[in-house]
């Protein structure tokens, strides 16, 4: 009963409208009939310094078909790839990204002599790879800046924008020719509430969710099938156990986010992972 009350409080009063159609590029990479897309979480954090171009290359070599990254804006409005709000954990520096200039961010060692990338770096380095970009930080220009970069790089058709926050995703959806988006946390709850209603249409084409939350299995074969009928692709995070990945693949999930794409690729293809380490 408590779960029902929480869902009711967080859901909108009326079902949302339909999401935009998926681009052929995203359909090709994210709706593979033989196995789920292998999505390198933070660029493949188990294979090297997270969110760096060098680690992304190792992930692709190891079998990743999609790169998941996090985008912040620097003080001077440059989009950079970093998970945390500060540079403390993953670099040689300290401080909040939003308080540092791009030049200051670029001067830091992000591990193994690498640097924090500009958003354009992986877009240009991997022109055939789709991306999931999580919108991070509080900079007011984040959404339009990211969309402008994607448009300039002709990358709108191969990107999904993700966020826990509905307002950021709605801001992206309001932009002409915006990329596809995922569901926010509140929109996931709304989906769970309305999923069996004939009139429900999700506001996005993708949902990135964990396999379960306390007291509730989120990923089940029946839910995956209902989502598919709604045109909603389910991508599950963050899965590093090969056995769990195989179970999710058998359920029919569209994608698996993992820190170790080489390991998960090997599990799903029953192959020996190639050497991708430093």
**Where in the chain are the domains?**
22-267
Q: What pLDDT was estimated at residue 138?
A: 83
- Separation CA 242–CA 127 (nearest Å): 29
Q: Spell out, as residue ranges, where the chain has pLDDT lower than 70.
A: 1-33, 271-278
Q: What pLDDT was estimated at residue 11?
A: 44
Q: Which residues contact 152 (CB under 8 A, 6 or more apart)?
A: none
- Separation CA 197–CA 215 (nearest Å): 23
Q: What pLDDT was estimated at residue 112?
A: 97
Q: What pLDDT was estimated at residue 13?
A: 42
Strand, helix or coil for residue 161 = strand
Architecture of domain 22-267: Alpha-Beta Barrel (3.20)
Q: From 15, 163, 165, 134, select the one nearest 68 (Cα to Cα).
A: 134
- Separation CA 55–CA 276 (nearest Å): 9
Q: What pLDDT was estimated at residue 198?
A: 84
CB atoms within 10 A of CB 192: 18
Q: What pLDDT was estimated at residue 28?
A: 54
Q: What pLDDT was estimated at residue 276?
A: 56
- Separation CA 251–CA 229 (nearest Å): 15
Q: State the first-to-last Cα distance of the chain, in angstroms, to the nearest integer.
A: 51
């Amino acid at each position: 009963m408590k779960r029902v009350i929480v869902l009711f409080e967080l859901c909108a009063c009326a079902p949302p409208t339909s999401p935009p159609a998926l681009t052929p590029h995203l359909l090709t990479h994210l709706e593979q009939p033989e196995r789920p897309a292998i999505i390198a979480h933070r660029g493949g954090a188990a294979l090297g310094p997270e969110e760096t171009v060098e680690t992304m290359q190792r992930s692709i070599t190891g079998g990743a078909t999609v790169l998941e990254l996090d985008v912040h804006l620097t003080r001077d409005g440059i989009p950079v790839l970093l998970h945390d709000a500060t540079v403390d954990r993953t670099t040689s520096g300290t401080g909040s990204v939003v308080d540092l200039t791009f030049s200051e961010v670029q001067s830091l060692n992000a591990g193994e002599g690498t640097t924090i990338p500009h958003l354009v770096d992986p877009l240009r380095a991997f022109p055939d790879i789709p991306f999931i970009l999580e919108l991070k930080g509080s900079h007011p220009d984040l959404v339009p800046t990211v969309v402008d970069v994607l448009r300039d790089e002709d990358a709108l058709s191969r990107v999904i924008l993700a966020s826990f926050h509905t307002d950021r995703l709605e801001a992206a959806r309001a932009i002409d020719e915006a990329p596809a988006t995922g569901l926010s946390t509140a929109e996931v709850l709304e989906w769970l509430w309305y999923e069996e209603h004939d009139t429900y249409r999700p506001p996005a084409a993708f949902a990135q969710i964990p396999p379960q939350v306390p007291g509730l299995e989120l990923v089940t074969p029946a839910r995956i099938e209902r989502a598919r009928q709604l045109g909603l692709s389910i991508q599950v995070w963050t899965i590093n156990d090969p056995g769990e990945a195989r179970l999710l693949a058998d359920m029919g999930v569209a994608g698996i986010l993992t820190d170790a794409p080489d390991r998960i690729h090997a599990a799903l293809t029953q192959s020996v992972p190639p050497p991708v380490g430093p």
